[in-house]
Amino acid sequence: MADKKIIAVVGSTGAQGGSLVEAILRDANGRFAARAITRDPTNDKARAIAAKGGEVVQADLDDVESLKKAFAGAYGVYAVTNFWEHLSGEKEKAQAKNIADAARAAGVSHVIWSTLEDTRKLMKADDKRMPMLQEKYRVPHFDAKAEANAYFEGLPTTFLVTSFYWDNLYSFGLAPKKGADGKYEWTFPMGDSKLAGMAVEDIGKSAYGSFKAGQQYIGKTVGIVGENLTLTQMGEKISKGMGVGPIRYNAVDANVYRSFGFPGADEMGNMFQVYRDFEKEVTGARSANVARQLNPDLQNFDQFIAKNKSKIASAMNPAPAA
């Protein structure tokens, strides 16, 4: 243990970081040890990591000094920010800057920055197809991450471009649900375009593969995906894998989706519209072959459904409100 290289994992109690911690801990004879970063080491997920042998360290992305301490002595840092906690592009950038500054101060050898593309580059500034959000972003959680890439320049960084998590089916309420006629349906502004998706577990495993490969991916932008599928194809696979009837796909206009009114509806409407209108660019920036080189266990959507059947079933059939 003592001679293992430490990977300090931001977001260790969450989906991406948690899957990396899991990948490191599972490889008990590997060269790396996990240092799990959380604001609250007493939370259940942090305790579970500690129980499996991971080191747990307290730090806050809003406090650069706490990050410097948490990164001290580490070989690597997995860097992810959580837009959905505050819905602010500016805050996401400030937190990314804190991570980069602390990684620089700690002199780490490899940073993986979980990023996304700048969707503003896909459209002219006066393009009216979707609104600007927070004054200057098309899709704030994409564009802010892309802007934050600059903070990592000069650091030994892998820019990991991730994809839509299929886990959103159960963790973000996006699974098909029964409509008024008792048949399953779901609604997206995706037309017939393909959505670049993957199991979040495979983001952690790919990051681990990148740390293991070391030099090969430093200074590189690496886009990963499990499979690109239309919503119709996804519905067919869910129907077959879950043993339920056909899933009706309501392909609404992006303006309609943006008007749904749930927190982040405008953001999600813009995001899906980018996936829809710029299918070639978005899918072209991600590769399942590269993801498989980093992580030979990469799942396709059928495998993901089979592995997560009970969680998907619960999400498709939520208990009636009491």
Ligand X SMILES: NC(=O)c1ccc[n+]([C@@H]2O[C@H](COP(=O)([O-])OP(=O)(O)OC[C@H]3O[C@@H](n4cnc5c(N)ncnc54)[C@H](OP(=O)(O)O)[C@@H]3O)[C@@H](O)[C@H]2O)c1
Taking the complex as a whole, how short is the minimal distance between the CB of residue 180 and ligand X, in angstroms?
A: 28
Candidate list 162, 210, 270, 293; residue touching ligand X; CB under 6 A: 162
> CA 4 to CA 29: how far, in whole Å?
10
Piece of the chain touching ligand X by CB under 6 A; list 70-78, 157-165, 228-236, 244-252: 157-165
Q: Does residue 83 belong to the site contacting ligand X (CB under 6 A)?
A: yes
| Stretch of 13-21, 128-136, 209-217, 304-312 lying at the interface with ligand X (CB under 6 A) | 13-21
Please check whether residue 209 is in contact with residue 295, taking contact to mean a CB–CB distance below 8 angstroms.
yes
What is the distance between the alpha carbons of residues 60 and 18, in angstroms, rounded to a whole number?
Answer: 16
CA dihedral angle for residue 141, residue 204, residue 45, residue 152, rounded to 10 degrees: -50
Residues with Cβ within 8 Å of residue 160, at least 6 apart in sequence: 112, 113, 114, 115, 203, 206, 207, 210, 222, 224
CB under 8 Å to 237, separation ≥6 — which residues? Answer: 229, 301, 302, 305
Smallest gap from residue 88 Cβ to ligand X (A): 11
Q: How far is the CB of 257 from ligand X (least distance, A)?
A: 16
Q: Which is nearer to ligand X, 40 or 153 (CB)?
A: 40
Closest residue to ligand X, based on beta-carbon distance: 14
Q: Which of 306, 170, 172 is nearest to 242 (CA)?
A: 306
Question: Does 285 engage in binding with ligand X (CB under 6 A)?
Answer: no
Mention every residue, 6+ apart, whose C-beta is less than 8 A from residue 220. 158, 159
Select from 27, 85, 192, 253 the one that contacts ligand X (CB under 6 A): 85
Examine residue 158 and tell whether it contacts ligand X (CB under 6 A): no
**Is residue 295 a contact residue for ligand X (CB under 6 A)?**
no
**Judged by CB, which is closer to ligand X: 142, or 217?**
142
Contact range with ligand X by CB under 6 A, out of 158-166, 239-247, 269-277, 303-311: 158-166
Based on the shown chain and the rule CB under 6 A, indicate whether residue 260 belongs to the binding site for ligand X. Answer: no
- For position 62 contacting ligand X by CB under 6 A, the verdict is yes
Instruction: For residue 102, give every residue at least 6 positions away whose Cβ sits within 8 Å of its Cβ, in sequence order, or none.
Output: 64, 67, 68, 70, 71
Q: Give, as one character, the DSSP assignment of residue 257.
A: H
At closest approach, how far in Å is the CB of 70 from ligand X?
Answer: 9
Query: What is the C-alpha R_g of the chain?
Result: 20
From the centroid of its chain, how far is CA 108? 23
Residue with Cβ nearer ligand X (120 or 141): 141
The span of 8-16, 121-129, 208-216, 279-287 binding ligand X (CB under 6 A) equals 8-16
Residue 2 buriedness (CB in 10 A; 0-12 / 13-18 / 19+):
exposed
According to DSSP, the β-strands at 177-178 and 5-9 are unpaired
* Minimal distance, residue 172 CB to ligand X, in Å: 6
Count of residues interacting with ligand X (CB under 6 A): 25
Q: Got the DSSP string for 108-148?
A: -SEEEEEE---GGGGS-TT--SS--BTTTBSSHHHHHHHHH
CB-wise, 13 or 187, nearer to ligand X?
A: 13
Does 39 participate in binding ligand X (rule CB under 6 A)?
A: yes
Nearer to ligand X, 84 or 246 (CB): 84
User: How far apart are the C-alpha atoms of 62 and 92, rounded to whole Å?
Assistant: 10
- 14-33 residues near ligand X, rule: CB under 6 A: 14-17
The span of 12-20, 23-31, 232-240, 243-251 binding ligand X (CB under 6 A) equals: 12-20
The site for ligand X (CB under 6 A) is made up of 11-17, 38-40, 43, 60-62, 80-85, 141, 162, 164-165, 168
